[in-house]
Amino acid sequence: DVKVTQSSRYLVKRTGEKVFLECVQDMDHENMFWYRQDPGLGLRLIYFSYDVKMKEKGDIPEGYSVSREKKERFSLILESASTNQTSMYLCASRISTGQGTYEQYFGPGTRLTVT
């Protein structure tokens, strides 16, 4: 079974803090994604990575950065957390070769509260 794990289920941070959200997948997937989930807005893509050291902006990258130094790990960084970044953050991974499947495997999510 594919497993995508996220470092924390719940996180509380103060405004202005630098926040790191970690995601690890164990299936050697090339593609990894970070989304945020908000009521009524669905899943919105923040950043994604085609492969190690590669990254692309998604639909809402402002206020975020990412790091992919190893294939299995994709980190989301909030340089200076703000209250409007309070949300559920979901990481996902996907194999790139498209051998009949384009399924994204999601982690359980990190609920971040910024006070």
List residues binding another protein (CB under 8 A): 4, 30-31, 33, 35, 40-45, 48, 50, 56, 58-59, 90, 92, 95-98, 102-104, 106-109
Q: How far is CA 41 from CA 34, 36, 46, 47, 72, in A?
A: 15, 9, 13, 17, 28
Considering the complex, what minimum distance in angstroms separates the CB of residue 100 from another protein?
10
**Beta carbon nearer to another protein, 58 or 63:** 58
**Beta carbon nearer to another protein, 51 or 79:** 51
Alpha-carbon distance 105 to 3, whole Å? 8
Considering the complex, what minimum distance in angstroms separates the CB of residue 115 from another protein?
22
Considering the complex, what minimum distance in angstroms separates the CB of residue 20 from another protein?
19
Residues for the chain: how many in total? 115
Considering the complex, what minimum distance in angstroms separates the CB of residue 10 from another protein?
11
**Beta carbon nearer to another protein, 14 or 74:** 74
* Exposure class string for 67-89: b at 16+ Cβ within 10 A, else e: bbeebbebbbebeebeeebbbeb
